[in-house]
Structure 1
Amino acid sequence: STLIESIAMLSFSTNSESTGRLADTTGISFVHEGSSYRTFRLDDPERKHGGQSGSVAIKAFSDQFPDEEEISRLENEHNVLKYLANRSGAGAALNQTLRSGAAAIYLDWVEGITLKEWIRTTNSEKTSDLKRIRNVLQNITYGLLDIHDAGVVHNNIRAEHIIIPPEEDSPVKFISFGSASFLAADGKSSPDARRHDLMSLGFVFYEIISGKSSRRKSHSQSLFSNNDNESKEDEGQNDESKLHISHPEVYSALVGKMPIPFMRIIMALIEANITTKRYQTASEVYQDLNHSNTFLLDSKMSTYAGQLHFSQDELYGRSDHLTAIMNVSQRMYSDRSPQVILVSGFSGTGKSALIKHASEILAKEGHYFTSGKFDQFGQAEPFSTIIDAFNGYFRTVMQSGEEIISNTKASLLRTIGSEVGVLTNIFPSLVEVIGTPVTDPAQVGFPESQNRLDFLFGLMISAIATPSQPLVLFLDDLQWADITSISF
């Protein structure tokens, strides 16, 4: 902590020329000066400060009196990097001091050069090739995927904030996490939470391929400028579409420089109007880049302009079928009666995908959806698919909150009464909802037992499927259903 404070004080008491000579006596060297921060490198071969690389980066304020927002940003960067310590897409934070006038953070040193420098060198040497560029694009995307998977969004992705390692097989690292934020812990973050990062990634890709800055002149100098003070610490979360050049400018600069599949990825990332594709996750981008290797190996495919991308999240050519399912759902509401839909077709024609898409829509409208799949070799276990489906329903109820659990329990006990034990013997998960029945069901012969089960099963359905919470039961591969299940 004392060393951090000493360097923090040195940051604004010594000019950058003289700090460059510190390494001769202290092992400390000046690395970079931005608009708000100075960065130093401390040699730490014995790893006394907890780093893994043998060196430590120390980030301190240039101004002796930074405002609260700047201090908060530095603290946020430390906290986020502490959280990402075991992730390959970011370096690790080691220590910090936030004392007034001496705020600074220790970071494990990340070996390599910024992507901005890499682009400048690659273009000046005219050494770029498609495979090398694809590898860099893929490595950057994997780094971002790793960060997003950890539940963090960067919010300030640009070429200056990405470190390219000396070895091609080493992971790319992101830096400057002052504006980073955490995704919702329950995994229900809006896709927009990642949208800013993905759009920024698209403009970074543009810069890699074109060698030109994607930023408007009022926001940035040329990528080939020698002035590295260019707002490296500008951590604001701005509207990317206003900061960057227009989509037509991006398109015209890329035409002829990359195969069409790569262009489509970039145009989708920056959400250009010429494509309807929108990426929701970095994983989708990574998969597309991985598949693009095929185009590099086949020159004819590389220049083929008709390549299309079909998202796994979209349903194509089934709007009429989807409408028919929704119409049946509405009829169930209006008639207050059960409805049956049979979806037929050859194997692999998308029947299950259609139902999955419909179920997502119905779930948003308040339907409970449960499913079971019949098996060609499972017919020896009568009724097992139905049992699995309703056990799944009861498990869903148990995850839906106390009010729904209480209402479902009350409805079942009120409707079925003392005979509920017959059903708990069939559906074990029902016990989780209503508890263990007080009385055991009366013993009866087989015909009476079957009739009783049929009757009580109907009561159970009427208790859990209501106008306010309709129940949708999807039974897949009905051709393999056993006789007992069909009789229900």
Structure 2
Amino acid sequence: MEVLWEDGDRVFHRERRRSADGKWNPVLVVLPALEHPTLSSLERLDHEYGLKDELDSAWAVRPLELVREGGRTMLVLEDPGGEPLARRLGTAMEPELFLRLAIGIAAALGRAHQRGLVHKDIKPANILVTGSGAEVRLTGFGIASRLSRERQAPEPPEVVAGTLAYMAPEQTGRMNRSIDARSDLYALGVTFYQMLTGVLPFTAADPMEWVHCHIARQPVPPTERLKEIPAAVSAIIMKLLAKTAEERYQTAGGVERDLRRCLDQWETEGRIGEFPLGEYDTPGRLLIPEKLYGREREIEILLAAFERVVTSGTPELVLVSGYSGIGKSAIVHELHKVLVTPRGLFASGKFDQYKRDIPYATLAQAFQSLIRGLLAKSEADLAPWREALSETLGPNGQLMVDLVHELKLIIGDQPPVAELPPQDAQRRFQLIFRRFISVFARPEHPLALFLDDLQWLDAATLDLLEDLLTRSDVQHLMLIGAYRDNEVTAAHPLMRKL
């Protein structure tokens, strides 16, 4: 058995296995790195196996079987020969070898996209290459999508599927943009950058910093790192690394054509002149851009309000109104980009027309996502949160566990709370809820809480929001509400409260 690649996630090795006709054949085997693998790592193996009829041996490493042996689940793949590209990195590649490999990788990715797959985890460990780069195969389709476009929810970076060092900005869930085939092209750009220069375009110490790099930082162009890298090749990579998908190459075929043009010039003239990029880069389908047009003023108002909350700490309420479908939520989600830098937190919930009789249901929904994010952290990172929550809630923790059941997984079983008359019970609940929010809304990570469809809010939540905004003990909180102004008249409880 020869181990080809090993990281914290999976082990990838080559071995010989006996087939049904008794022959010993070389195969590749992938198994989770942990002895007790997480559910998501097993689901990835299962998902990749499920794609076996769509993956073609010409450009992908085809799965053969999903087996369980010695108490471990493993995915058996065909062995096309070659080794993971990751094993050949660490030093800068010669331009000619780079171009040959890069053309093969772009071609393989183009074939995957033509099949209607978005890989979502393009990186050197998932690319098998032979010596000269004549043959390239993609593997690691564990989170590949058959959807032409999908939205990544703004989850904590620790739980977003994919590999942070190679992840397109929109894949982090902090860009208010969908993931599509062009997200793979960004990851391709990171991979090409590493092949040519020997280093990644960014370095970061923790998941949130990776997210910040991809969204906000500009990489140093490869030709500035190494003078011998031709400017045209450097420009191709920088185009792949554009922050918004509209500015990148639109197809892998377009990248491949430009790389071939570079290789032809290199072979004939020994140099590569600059030329206009993307002349043959025509997408096979219409992609509507997802930029927000004509909303600069509204977005500026939101961002300015958040800046004030960051600097002064005083809580603010911002209301966004308009007809249904006009794009109220889309504007609010533009906040994600700025929340990354100061390590801000974002939680959102949506009121439901049919759940008006369930008090606080929408707040529970909003805080559920924050608590789930904490549960994804390592024990060392979770400990300070556990301490802060336990200390802040004191003997009344059960009130918040009743609201957000997942909280129990962090602070454990709580003692029952004392019975009080209804009015006192409500005051106590509001006090404990303010304390609960204060754990998330802090100077080092202000909280933006977005409540959608306020036209359907319940009376209990309305009272609680008033309490939050008028008491002085809650700081660093920005409350954003959206409602349909055609459904909120002057007599609506929300208007009367305002």
TM-score by length of 1: 0.48
